[in-house]
Amino acid sequence: MDAQLPVICAKCHNGAKKTYNCDHTDYAEYCTECYTELHYYLTESGPGQDAQGAKRDSGDAP
Ligand SMILES: [Zn+2]
Ligand SMILES: [Zn+2]
């Protein structure tokens, strides 16, 4: 039952049933895990998002 999966993730090189791509992946096919992980890190610390002088109120204690 080890049928070859249709697509190979460009990052982890594992077969995936479904892959995703966007400009963040350079339009390479990423598996769900890698794709999610990539965007997780992008949203965690993305420089260049606060251009309106908004203060970063992260979880810093006062
Ligand atoms: Zn992957
Ligand atoms: Zn993206």
Q: Which ligand is nearest to the CA of 38?
A: 2
Q: Is residue 17 part of a domain?
A: yes
CA distances from 39 to 5, 7, 15, 16, 53 (A): 24, 20, 20, 18, 24
pLDDT higher at 43 or 36: 36
**Number of domains making up the chain:** 1
The domain in which residue 23 lies consists of 7-44
Split at pLDDT 50, 70, 90, the class of 26 is very high
Read off φ and ψ for residue 23, nearest 5 degrees.
-65, -25
Nearest CA to 13 out of 31, 25, 26 is that of 31
Q: Is residue 38 part of a domain?
A: yes
C-alpha 15 to ligand 1 mean position (Å) = 8
What residues are paired with 15 via a beta bridge? 8
Reported pTM: 0.62
Q: Is residue 28 part of a domain?
A: yes
C-alpha 24 to ligand 2 mean position (Å) = 4
